[in-house]
Amino acid sequence: MALFSANRHTCALLAATALTALAVQPVLAADAIIAPVEPQITENLPVVLSPWQVRVRALGVVPENRGYVNEVPGSGIKASNTVVPELDISYYFTNNIAAELILGTTYSNITGKGAIDGLDVGKTWLLPPTLTLQYHFTDFGAFKPYIGAGVNYTFFYNQKNHDADYLKVKNTFGGALQVGFDYMIDDHWGFNVDVKKLYLRPNFDVTVGGTEMSGKAKLDPWLIGTGITYRF
């Protein structure tokens, strides 16, 4: 009788354990189904920018209009102001150091002043590619000012004489200084203002009334531009 009683208790214990396991299993399965997925926290990664940048500007060319004809005391030279489109291409070596190549072409009407006031000498086109090395300040958020200095080589072409019998303005090197800023709307697009000073003093040959003469045009123009920046 004792053995039968022990077996009966053992069977009851096994049955209770089995029922408990059957009851817990659905709960665990339900928990597995409805358990929320932990959200993955990702930080915003910085935008990787290309070192290349382009700008398109409207450019005002304002010469200083100093110069002279060697053979005419008291003579002066005047070149007209112009507004032209301009393209420049920049390459960033670092976040602060960049090189910029400025491309654009313009024309200039050349007239006399002083002792030759009223003389319509002629007209010339000029192409003044300018390469500058710039330092960009990066501590002002979207406002990014810069300064630069470089070299210019100006080609004079398509020259036409008017009152003069002959006109030849000679190609020349010159220095360049630059200051400006970009205001970036986002990582790629921005608004640009730029001012450059070119030290441009070409020699010229001119013939007036059959007399051959020479001189120097101290143009030293200000280049004042505004436009759009795009950083690749």
Tell which CATH architecture fits domain 52-231: Beta Barrel (2.40)
- The tens place of each residue's pLDDT in the chain, 232 residues long, gives 443 444 555 545 444 554 454 444 554 444 545 555 555 554 567 778 999 999 999 999 999 999 999 999 999 999 999 999 999 999 999 999 999 999 999 999 999 999 999 999 999 999 999 999 999 999 999 999 999 999 999 999 999 999 999 999 999 999 999 999 999 999 999 999 999 999 999 999 999 999 999 999 999 999 999 999 999 9
Residue where the block lists tokens 């986002």? 186
**Euclidean distance between CA atoms 29 and 35, whole angstroms:** 10
Q: Where are the domains of the chain?
A: 52-231
- Tell me what pLDDT residue 217 has: 96
Query: Is the distance from CB of 128 to CB of 153 less than 8 angstroms?
Result: yes
Contacts of 88 (CB under 8 A, 6+ apart): 54, 55, 57, 100, 101, 102, 103
Query: Is the distance from CB of 218 to CB of 203 less than 8 angstroms?
Result: no
- Tell me what pLDDT residue 24 has: 47
Residue where the block lists tokens 């005047």? 78
- Tell me what pLDDT residue 4 has: 42
**Euclidean distance between CA atoms 191 and 55, whole angstroms:** 9
- Tell me what pLDDT residue 47 has: 78
Contacts of 74 (CB under 8 A, 6+ apart): 114, 115
Query: Is the distance from CB of 7 to CB of 15 less than 8 angstroms?
Result: no
- Tell me what pLDDT residue 19 has: 45
